Structure 1
Amino acid sequence: MGVTPPGKPVTNSPQTGQQHSFDQAQAARLVARQQQASRYGNAAYGSQVQAVSDPAVKLPGYKVGFQDTGRLCTGTIVDGTAIANCYKVFVEKSRAPIIASALSTTSQVCFGASALNTYAPGTPVVVMVHDKIGQAYIIGSVPSVLDIGKRAYHDYISQASRKRVDDCHKKYIKEKLNGQMIDWSCWRPWDATLASEWGAVSTTGIGVSVDDFMLRASVNEFCGLYGFYHDQLLRVAGWNMQVWTAGSERDAYMDQAECNDTTGYSPYPWEAAGNIEIGMPMIKEFKPKDYQCPLGVPYYSHWENDNEFQQPYHRTQKFFGYLGQGSRTVIHAPPKGVLRWTYKPGSAGSATPPYESSIRGKDGFSPDCGGGSKERDHEEKPVYGLQEDNTGLDGRRFITSSKGIVLSKRILLPIPQRLRRPESGEGDDTERDYKAASMFGSGPDHKITGDIKTTDSKWPNMQRATAVLDLHGYLFNYAGLHPFYWHAKDYKTWEEQELRQEGYADVNQKIPEFSQLKGSMYLKEPTPKEWKIDHRYNQQKFYEQESYISLLEDGGVVIGDGYGGEIRMVAGCVIISAPGDVWLKGGRDVQAWGGNDVILRANKSIDISATEKNVRIKAERNVLVLAGNDSTDREGGILLESRGKTIEYDFETCGDEIKFAGVVARAPHSNVVGLAKQIYMRTGGGEVEPGDIVLDAAQGSNDVITKSNNLYNYLKESGSVYHFFGGQKVGGTNKANLFQQSVTCLCGPIGTDGDIFCDGNVLCDGSVLVAKGHILTEAAAKGAIFVGPCDGDCQGQVRAAVERFKNLIDVEIPNVGNQIDTQKLQEMWYTEKRAGNEKVMTIMEFSFRRDEDYNIPDFMLYEDRWQQMARLGGKSPEKWTERPVTAKSCGKTFPFPGDKWLNSEPAYVEQDFKIVQIEDGYIDQSRGTAPGLSSEYAEPEFKPNQPKIINGNYPIIPRT
């Protein structure tokens, strides 16, 4: 007889590697085998010896013969070990505990499921004891009698059940002496029934139950899996929840009064495991001597992450709850140079060595504990932020992308169609023709880019904006569905041409019939396609029109509609275009300010009108107007028309208060010149009222000069030509000439270098003097050689005639001149508020509106984005200084917004930033390390602005 058990103390297996004697379970099994082989193995009952040999095989028959029967006894478990499923049971009438094993209702072989239930010390049990077997078998536990029901810890299978109130479940208990019922409930659920239910429930409420209508595996009502036969409802609940997949993780927690729900996604399994670079070690293997020994690393398992703080790298993250507020979705790319993604190592404090009894195995070997460690490297570097989509709890939605954003409406959308399940052997296979993740396998690389190469070397930004539909085609017809495209056997990726063949639509954008605009205000709506959606929507209209808002990678913005209209903001310019009309409409004002020029160009006409008030055009230099250009043979002219009816010229004030009518050409220090093939001036005719034509050369102080081949004056038969002398002042005419068909009066001597022909008499109150020659008369030819006397009646008649003409010349005709001067000049033109009045001539001049005409009580002009960028970046563009137009009636006048807001009141607002800092560009200020949040974020407010005078401070970029 010996004491050394058969077999080797150390063995090996392919699964576990080297096995060591310090395994407590192995030691327990060794003790059990020792007891089975000796204590009750022969007649030496209870001895620690065994037979050296049993050639006749007597011992098995001795132990299992029918001459002895087993007994059922009650007892109480006093101790045990769950590792070996071995208990010490104090059996009734026994003096010492015996070793017992709990029976099971499942198979105990090396495959299949085995029951896991254990018994706690103190549990009353029924055991089977046999005299020839060295241990007992626990048949089951005995429920204790519950004497005081209020001390019970009853739970519920479902709190919505009626078990605790339905009388059928309590009828015996309500009878006399409780209907002989004993409370053996032993913490069973209140709502258990006699309907063959199965399950288990713990003291804390964790339970599993199955009945005909419900399945549950739960911790409590808010943490568990529930399945209901009615409605085929499955409920998954978790006060805190984790959902793990190969490429995603969801963590939903109530974390210190903050509810957070975070989900991360990665397209690559190595990144989901925490490796940024492919080929980095991911898993580390530990030996049983490392993790099965309390003095080793029992907190590890056979396979562990290579890094102690390994963290999955999720390129897409969705945050809800407190971290996400309304919601937050971010997309990012890993930082350069980082090999793996890890949590920040923490300090766990000094570890207390675990208690180890250092039990030696029966083979004499001491425990040989191993150890080991994992990588702990950690590198903190920021990721490349690519996109954010945020919603605040106030409802504000703020979205940004470092690459670009495209919002598009288009009709041909190829949706990939799944052809095979992922597990299908006929689908894409890395061993044949597919390159998984464009990294592993034998197929082609999955080509993708975010940049479309530009070919315009001078203005690539303009080319990118103009060819934006190529970008849309690449994004929607390839980039978005390219993973499906390369899964050619798993998915069918339709071509737009195939959708056309199916009759869905012909094109994304039909070319409108722009010629319609020649005879119509608007383009007509195109004919739509009709698709059936479902039984409610039925047929719905879909148009082959593409519209979009594209935020380009260079910062440009392009907005387009399906009719050809577009707003293109790129390269520092804003271009608004449309095949039809472009309308700029303001309920109040429409303003256009040009730092260099304001250019309006039309192929046909330009109309400028003011319904209620005035049109002003001011140029610091010249105003040039051309009609009938010599490049065309068409007609063309300039018409200046006034339909006003007042004859007053009220320029006592400025702006909108001036009152006048007609056409005034004023050049006080230069000339008014009319150059034409012919010049025609007329009053009266058609609807033009008749009136006088007055030429006034400084009220007689200057000259009216004509120069021509001929000078033709046409008068009526009764008309007269008057020359008034001495008429510089009103009423000062003292002499006059008169030319009429019947009479001519000349107020002074008449001189001629030729002859005087007279078909009548010559009457004079003086002499007829002849220096050379003679006086020839018809009477002298008849013998009257002497001049006849003029006396008597002759003299009286001559003098009367001479006096008559003298009176005409000196009195009557000058009186006519004075009357004309008074009525035609003084009253019509020289009096107050008339065009010839010297004061009116002095103050009748161009002026802008007055401040009260603009009627702006609170004007404020905020700097433009480019102006702000230039100022904060130290670019210092030129400044616009508006020159005044001085009017004698009201001094200096200015264009909109007027003198007050241009020169007196600070009305140009320069806004600095408080969060954004200027460091060769814009960058947000640091938040500060928590809890030391920077005041700019703790109490955010805009920086007080800095109003300045507009004039001389308004930035512009004029051409050189």
Structure 2
Amino acid sequence: MFVEKSRAPIIASALSTTSQVCFGASALNTYAPGTPVVVMVHDKIGQAYIIGSVPSVLDIGKRAYHDYISQASRKRVDDCHKKYIKEKLNGQMIDWSCWRPWDATLASEWGAVSTTGIGVSVDDFMLRASVNEFCGLYGFYHDQLLRVAGWNMQVWTAGSERDAYMDQAECNDTTGYSPYPWEAAGNIEIGMPMIKEFKPKDYQCPLGVPYYSHWENDNEFQQPYHRTQKFFGYLGQGSRTVIHAPPKGVLRWTYKPGSAGSATPPYESSIRGKDGFSPDCGGGSKERDHEEKPVYGLQEDNTGLDGRRFITSSKGIVLSKRILLPIPQRLRRPESGEGDDTERDYKAASMFGSGPDHKITGDIKTTDSKWPNMQRATAVLDLHGYLFNYAGLHPFYWHAKDYKTWEEQELRQEGYADVNQKIPEFSQLKGSMYLKEPTPKEWKIDHRYNQQKFYEQESYISLLEDGGVVIGDGYGGEIRMVAGCVIISAPGDVWLKGGRDVQAWGGNDVILRANKSIDISATEKNVRIKAERNVLVLAGNDSTDREGGILLESRGKTIEYDFETCGDEIKFAGVVARAPHSNVVGLAKQIYMRTGGGEVEPGDIVLDAAQGSNDVITKSNNLYNYLKESGSVYHFFGGQKVGGTNKANLFQQSVTCLCGPIGTDGDIFCDGNVLCDGSVLVAKGHILTEAAAKGAIFVGPCDGDCQGQVRAAVERFKNLIDVEIPNVGNQIDTQKLQEMWYTEKRAGNEKVMTIMEFSFRRDEDYNIPDFMLYEDRWQQMARLGGKSPEKWTERPVTAKSCGKTFPFPGDKWLNSEPAYVEQDFKIVQIEDGYIDQSRGTAPGLSSEYAEPEFKPNQPKIINGNYPIIPRT
């Protein structure tokens, strides 16, 4: 330094207010060149000691760089404090503030402030250590408020780092966590060198590595490996949390080395000795290896700026509601000497120390070698028990002295709850529509909630590691999607309700099975059952001796059969059994057919064998016909055409008329006369009479009046047989057959018999203006993977009135209009499975991601293209 009175420069050292021994804190402040100081010069050794600096007068205020202890602190001050500034020549006041803060007072503040505003200050009500108002630590006496501010901020701990930056118009806030200290320091493999030591001759020598310290990372680009990372700001958008595992074979985690080349030698500014620099200068370097490998992604939780939440896990996701949740209770602080200690009974991180290993797994071993996926889904509550009662809290469990890890049984003893899931009284469903709500436990939450109800019922959504999904409720209901099947079950009822249609399509079978009854009902229209082969209906199975029958009932009242069209437009009533090319067979212990009785209206029983072209055949031991006393039995001949009856037989209680010769292989007995208009011929034997026994050996004559009476009687019978009784036959043919059965829209009409067929509904009956069927997930997987199964081709039911008819959705949407949509992917590509397209190296983002859109689909005809997996 230069001293006044023309003395030569002298070496000087500033006095300090702190200790100067080898331990403790020492003052760091220095004096800038050109600073006026007060010195004390030793008169013997020629050395000086700086006592302090001399404040200069600020004669030009605009050159001053005053700062503030607290922003806005000068907003409200008395006018006397600034009056002199308003006067001419500043009221002759001199600025001798020596760069002190503008809002300094006489309240004994302590601190320092630099030209750039960086400062430390302490007063009775405030503490600050700051760079500016947005970067610093502030403590306030009032409200005991602590403010930590940083336009850009880093927070480092042994196992976590937080970086919050405003990076080129992007605000990013990233925090990473690691459970292991060696990974937090960048080492993936335990035992790898973590720290490299440099000697003083290396880093204190200008020709060495002065940019290093005594202890440095072993690798120049060492980076902490954080298994859990949370991103907010631009990188995280709404938010992003990821969990991952390190890649196989990577020993340490590093940043990518830059391409700036080797470091240039530092500028040499030290004072050389007469012999130059010390020959013992060292040097050294650090590792620079870097290996880029992708981590094993385990879990992602993302929220977009549009509010969309998308969560995924490579292992599984469990969302559960359960009542017994053992929360570990802290017993000792980490620094306690009575807690878990690696030198006695604890194995830190299950790696270092003398305690047992911390057992943990994510896989519960299956014991069903054939269907392990089904066992995993069925035993899902074991998975939940392992996860919630051990896996989630297992670090606390092994910290046995630091934490009390409660057992569920202990929570039960405290009266919190008895079980996670009480077994419902399923027998209630025998007499009730629903299960009753169980009795809840009541826990006090706080003075606002007071007592709240908690139920011993467990519900869950489990996404299993094999891709299965299990959804369960606390009453026993479950949806189980696993092994290619979906199983919906409940102790009570399973309802499938659609405001419009409920559809069930089976590529092989549709099976409905009930322990008691099956009801099929259509409120407004029709029920159709169609089988390409047989329809089998059984009642009263032989495994039971109880009743069981088949009732086909029609309560319709029309006698017309209108099958001029198909579908819902047909009109008829009654019961029709139609087999145009085969038989209608009735097999029973007894067969009973009747009209009239009870509410059944009386009517005729008509048997028509091809309108008289074929036969009615009976075969029995006996044939009994019961008629009224006034009833008759008619045989009409020549009646194949209406009005064509020309002969007839008549059987009545009072008379019998036969229209042709009578032959018998036995005797004829009569209790009256025999009148004939011909001869009585006897080939063998004789004619025996009572008159012959009295001497009348000759046949008496029949002339005159006798002959007239005989001929009249014969003519009478001939008229009955040839005219009157055939007229009755023609009348019956007309009234009972033609008008009742053969006329238009009657069951015996040949056209009706031809067109009276089963048919599905017409397209206009289905009334579907815009049907579209999108392929199922499994169908899409099979198609894209080149494993397309068989295709379903629906066969039509042909009706003569309207041609080919089809089940839902009808002929148009099955065969004419492309209505089966196969959707290809644009981002997902197929390489022995699904994998997403490459994004491309920035800034060359591929078009699939730059302008994402779904690939246009190409609908196909459903029939013949709909994939199914029938049993062989």
Deviation at 1:178, TM superposition (A): 4.5
Deviations 1:386-421 (A, max 9, x none): 111111111111111111111111111111111100
For the Cα contact (< 8 Å) 1:328–1:388, is it kept in 2?
yes
Q: Distance in 1 between matches of 2:814 and 2:88?
A: 104
For the Cα contact (< 8 Å) 1:164–1:190, is it kept in 2?
no
Deviation at 1:576, TM superposition (A): 1.2
Deviations 1:743-781 (A, max 9, x none): 222222222222222222333333333333333333444
Q: Distance in 1 between matches of 2:77 and 2:688?
A: 165
Give the secondary-structure state (helix, strand or coil) at the position aligned to 2:390.
Answer: helix
Deviation at 1:180, TM superposition (A): 4.8
Q: Summarize the Cα distance change of 1:753–1:144 in structure 2 as closer, same or farther, 3 Å threshold.
A: same
Deviation at 1:179, TM superposition (A): 5.3
Q: Summarize the Cα distance change of 1:234–1:846 in structure 2 as closer, same or farther, 3 Å threshold.
A: same
Deviations 1:859-912 (A, max 9, x none): 121121111222222223111111111111111111111111111222222222
Give the secondary-structure state (helix, strand or coil) at the position aligned to 1:426.
Answer: coil
Give the secondary-structure state (helix, strand or coil) at the position aligned to 1:737.
Answer: strand
Deviation at 1:783, TM superposition (A): 3.8
| Residue range with higher mean Cα deviation, 240-249 or 651-660 | 651-660
Deviations 1:212-252 (A, max 9, x none): 21111111221111111111111111111100000000101
Q: Report the count of equivalent residues.
A: 872
Deviation at 1:367, TM superposition (A): 5.6
Q: Distance in 2 between matches of 1:97 and 1:808?
A: 170
For the Cα contact (< 8 Å) 1:163–1:190, is it kept in 2?
no
Q: Summarize the Cα distance change of 1:358–1:165 in structure 2 as closer, same or farther, 3 Å threshold.
A: closer
Deviation at 1:422, TM superposition (A): 0.2
For the Cα contact (< 8 Å) 2:188–2:253, is it kept in 1?
yes
1:392 to 2:307 alignment: no
Q: Summarize the Cα distance change of 1:553–1:300 in structure 2 as closer, same or farther, 3 Å threshold.
A: same
Corresponding position of 1:462: 374
Deviation at 1:785, TM superposition (A): 3.5
For the Cα contact (< 8 Å) 1:164–1:191, is it kept in 2?
no
| Residue range with higher mean Cα deviation, 491-500 or 349-358 | 349-358
Deviation at 1:91, TM superposition (A): 4.1
Corresponding position of 1:737: 649
Corresponding position of 1:544: 456
Q: Distance in 2 between matches of 1:713 and 1:186?
A: 141
Deviation at 1:164, TM superposition (A): 5.8
Give TM-score, length-normalised by structure 1: 0.88
| Residue range with higher mean Cα deviation, 319-328 or 197-206 | 197-206
Which structure's CA Rg is the greater one? Answer: 1
| Residue range with higher mean Cα deviation, 119-128 or 287-296 | 119-128
Q: Distance in 2 between matches of 1:773 and 1:501?
A: 119
Q: Distance in 2 between matches of 1:301 and 1:771?
A: 155
For the Cα contact (< 8 Å) 2:643–2:734, is it kept in 1?
yes
Q: Distance in 2 between matches of 1:942 and 1:804?
A: 96
Q: Summarize the Cα distance change of 1:888–1:94 in structure 2 as closer, same or farther, 3 Å threshold.
A: same
For the Cα contact (< 8 Å) 2:554–2:575, is it kept in 1?
yes
Deviations 1:24-53 (A, max 9, x none): xxxxxxxxxxxxxxxxxxxxxxxxxxxxxx
Deviation at 1:342, TM superposition (A): 0.5
Corresponding position of 1:403: 315
Q: Distance in 2 between matches of 1:91 and 1:803?
A: 179
Q: Distance in 2 between matches of 1:364 and 1:149?
A: 48
Deviation at 1:515, TM superposition (A): 0.9
For the Cα contact (< 8 Å) 2:316–2:465, is it kept in 1?
yes
Q: Distance in 1 between matches of 2:100 and 2:636?
A: 137
Give the secondary-structure state (helix, strand or coil) at the position aligned to 2:37.
Answer: strand
Deviation at 1:697, TM superposition (A): 0.2
Deviation at 1:201, TM superposition (A): 2.0
Deviation at 1:165, TM superposition (A): 4.4
Q: Distance in 1 between matches of 2:271 and 2:73?
A: 53
| Residue range with higher mean Cα deviation, 781-790 or 867-876 | 781-790
| Residue range with higher mean Cα deviation, 180-189 or 618-627 | 180-189
Q: Distance in 2 between matches of 1:881 and 1:164?
A: 90
Give the secondary-structure state (helix, strand or coil) at the position aligned to 2:729.
Answer: helix
Deviation at 1:520, TM superposition (A): 0.9
For the Cα contact (< 8 Å) 1:163–1:169, is it kept in 2?
no
| Residue range with higher mean Cα deviation, 728-737 or 753-762 | 753-762
Corresponding position of 1:889: 801
Give the secondary-structure state (helix, strand or coil) at the position aligned to 1:462.
Answer: helix
For the Cα contact (< 8 Å) 2:163–2:174, is it kept in 1?
yes
Q: Distance in 2 between matches of 1:168 and 1:126?
A: 34
Q: Distance in 2 between matches of 1:547 and 1:932?
A: 47
Q: Distance in 2 between matches of 1:674 and 1:90?
A: 136
Deviation at 1:574, TM superposition (A): 1.3
Q: Distance in 1 between matches of 2:569 and 2:286?
A: 90
Q: Summarize the Cα distance change of 1:301–1:715 in structure 2 as closer, same or farther, 3 Å threshold.
A: same
Deviations 1:130-161 (A, max 9, x none): 64562433333333333343443333222242
Corresponding position of 1:563: 475
Corresponding position of 1:155: 67
| Residue range with higher mean Cα deviation, 822-831 or 736-745 | 736-745
For the Cα contact (< 8 Å) 1:163–1:191, is it kept in 2?
no
Give the secondary-structure state (helix, strand or coil) at the position aligned to 1:778.
Answer: coil
Give the secondary-structure state (helix, strand or coil) at the position aligned to 2:191.
Answer: coil
Deviations 1:537-588 (A, max 9, x none): 1111111111111111111111111111111111111111111111111111
Q: Summarize the Cα distance change of 1:168–1:408 in structure 2 as closer, same or farther, 3 Å threshold.
A: farther
Deviation at 1:92, TM superposition (A): 4.3
Can you give the 5+ residue segments of structure 1 that lack an aligned partner in the other structure?
1-88
Q: Summarize the Cα distance change of 1:343–1:364 in structure 2 as closer, same or farther, 3 Å threshold.
A: closer
Corresponding position of 1:61: none
Q: Distance in 1 between matches of 2:705 and 2:72?
A: 153
Deviation at 1:115, TM superposition (A): 2.1
Give the secondary-structure state (helix, strand or coil) at the position aligned to 2:164.
Answer: strand
Q: Distance in 1 between matches of 2:277 and 2:85?
A: 61
Deviation at 1:692, TM superposition (A): 0.7
| Residue range with higher mean Cα deviation, 102-111 or 325-334 | 102-111
Deviations 1:197-217 (A, max 9, x none): 222222222222222211111
1:245 to 2:157 alignment: yes
Q: Distance in 2 between matches of 1:904 and 1:186?
A: 96
| Residue range with higher mean Cα deviation, 367-376 or 171-180 | 171-180
Deviations 1:489-541 (A, max 9, x none): 11111111111111111111111111111111111111111111111111111
Deviations 1:623-668 (A, max 9, x none): 1111001011111000111111111111111111111111110000
Q: Summarize the Cα distance change of 1:316–1:357 in structure 2 as closer, same or farther, 3 Å threshold.
A: closer
Deviations 1:265-311 (A, max 9, x none): 11110010001111111111111221122222111111100000000
For the Cα contact (< 8 Å) 1:247–1:265, is it kept in 2?
yes
Q: Distance in 1 between matches of 2:630 and 2:601?
A: 22
Give the secondary-structure state (helix, strand or coil) at the position aligned to 1:172.
Answer: helix
For the Cα contact (< 8 Å) 2:779–2:788, is it kept in 1?
no
Q: Distance in 2 between matches of 1:664 and 1:147?
A: 122
Q: Distance in 2 between matches of 1:437 and 1:939?
A: 46
Give the secondary-structure state (helix, strand or coil) at the position aligned to 2:505.
Answer: coil
Q: Distance in 1 between matches of 2:560 and 2:377?
A: 58
For the Cα contact (< 8 Å) 1:274–1:313, is it kept in 2?
yes
For the Cα contact (< 8 Å) 2:100–2:113, is it kept in 1?
yes
Deviation at 1:941, TM superposition (A): 1.6
For the Cα contact (< 8 Å) 1:289–1:370, is it kept in 2?
yes
Q: Distance in 2 between matches of 1:723 and 1:873?
A: 76
For the Cα contact (< 8 Å) 1:125–1:140, is it kept in 2?
yes
For the Cα contact (< 8 Å) 1:358–1:366, is it kept in 2?
no
Give the secondary-structure state (helix, strand or coil) at the position aligned to 1:90.
Answer: coil
Q: Distance in 1 between matches of 2:448 and 2:420?
A: 26
Q: Distance in 1 between matches of 2:763 and 2:71?
A: 79
| Residue range with higher mean Cα deviation, 948-957 or 330-339 | 948-957
For the Cα contact (< 8 Å) 1:163–1:192, is it kept in 2?
no
Give the secondary-structure state (helix, strand or coil) at the position aligned to 2:243.
Answer: strand
Deviation at 1:375, TM superposition (A): 0.3
Deviation at 1:352, TM superposition (A): 4.1
Deviation at 1:368, TM superposition (A): 4.2
Deviation at 1:737, TM superposition (A): 1.3
Q: Distance in 1 between matches of 2:48 and 2:15?
A: 10
Q: Summarize the Cα distance change of 1:313–1:350 in structure 2 as closer, same or farther, 3 Å threshold.
A: closer
Q: Distance in 1 between matches of 2:756 and 2:453?
A: 65
Corresponding position of 1:32: none
Deviation at 1:464, TM superposition (A): 1.2
1:662 aligned to 559, 574, 579, which one? 574
Corresponding position of 1:758: 670
Q: Distance in 1 between matches of 2:51 and 2:451?
A: 71
Q: Distance in 2 between matches of 1:487 and 1:782?
A: 142
The CA RMSD measured in Å over matched residues stands at 1.9
Deviation at 1:163, TM superposition (A): 4.7
Q: Distance in 2 between matches of 1:791 and 1:168?
A: 176
